[in-house]
Amino acid sequence: MSKKILLCELNVSEGRDEAKIKRITESLTATPNITIMDIDSDADHNRSVYTWIGEPEDVLAGAMNITAQAVEEIDMAMHHGSHPRQGAVDVVPFVPVRNVEKEEALDIARRYGKFLGGLGVPVYYYEDAATKPSRQNLVDIRKGQYEALPEKMQNEEWRPDEGPFAFVPKSGVTVTGVRFPLVAYNVNLRTDDLEIAKAIAKRMRFSSGGLRFCRAIGLALEERGMVQVSMNLTNFEKTPIPVVYDLIKSLADSYGVGIADAELVGPLPLAALEEVIRHCLRVRRFEMEQIIETHLLG
């Protein structure tokens, strides 16, 4: 039987201080028996995303190691960036990849949450680990961001699932759980008009009438002098990448704005590229088995 593979995609609220990023990164790379797939640091977002895979217990050990270091290094009271955030360790999804049942992944997520709560950080469970419907969606939990936490922590509705029921200025709060593999896809526009990016994002996201499995926000990329439509595609099978790109291009054209380039943040499932090949290359009959490497994965 093939070994179990669990993926973790941990987001920390630091993308500018190279010394801090180095120490946080070293705490993960020192973890044995994991494969680090991607490390993405963004100065405009002021955020770093770490993605690694391995056996569930090893992945959990890596999450604990990097979390302890990040909580020590990052002071949320000093944090500013374009990406929504509410914690030093902001969101930590665990994603079953191979031979890992959802219940096992949930056990890992909850053990991680208890560990983090033990460090004095308030923790919320989301997606498949959510303890109530209002906490299933990350956007709902993160509403108001870090700045809203002092008030939220006085409302019984926002009592954390783990850790103290109190505003912790240095660490903020962390959201963790188990979810379907998502695609983090950003499209950068040739304009510095943030209102255009926000308007396009509003048309894209499901919550305001857009694509069913698309979450989108407009962000400024000050270092590049342009703006970005930053998206999470929560089900790439039902909302494929080419559909998203075509709609953004059409909307951008309506504003007389061109697309500069796009970004895929972190690794993505090979299956997410299936529709890209079919759509962009106009391949009428394409199967993933036609890709040689799929036969080498075992």
Residues with catalytic function: 83
CA distances in angstroms from 144 to 138, 148, 150, listed in the order given: 12, 5, 11
Q: How far apart are CA 66 and CA 57, in angstroms?
A: 15
Element at 102 (helix H, strand E): helix 102-118
Under 8 Å CB-to-CB from 217, ≥6 apart: which residues? 84, 198, 201, 205, 229, 230, 231
Under 8 Å CB-to-CB from 7, ≥6 apart: which residues? 37, 51, 52, 53, 59, 94, 95, 96, 97, 181
Strand residue runs (E) in 122-258 = 123-127, 174-178, 183-189, 214-221, 226-233
Q: How far apart are CA 236 and CA 106, in angstroms?
A: 22
How many angstroms separate the first and last alpha carbons of the chain?
10
Whether 63 and 11 have beta carbons less than 8 Å apart is answered as no
Whether 44 and 219 have beta carbons less than 8 Å apart is answered as yes
Q: Are strands 89-98 and 174-178 parallel, antiparallel or unpaired?
A: parallel
Q: Which residue, 39, 40, 47, 38, is CA-closest to 16?
A: 47
Phi first, then psi, for residue 156 (nearest 5°) are: -55, -30
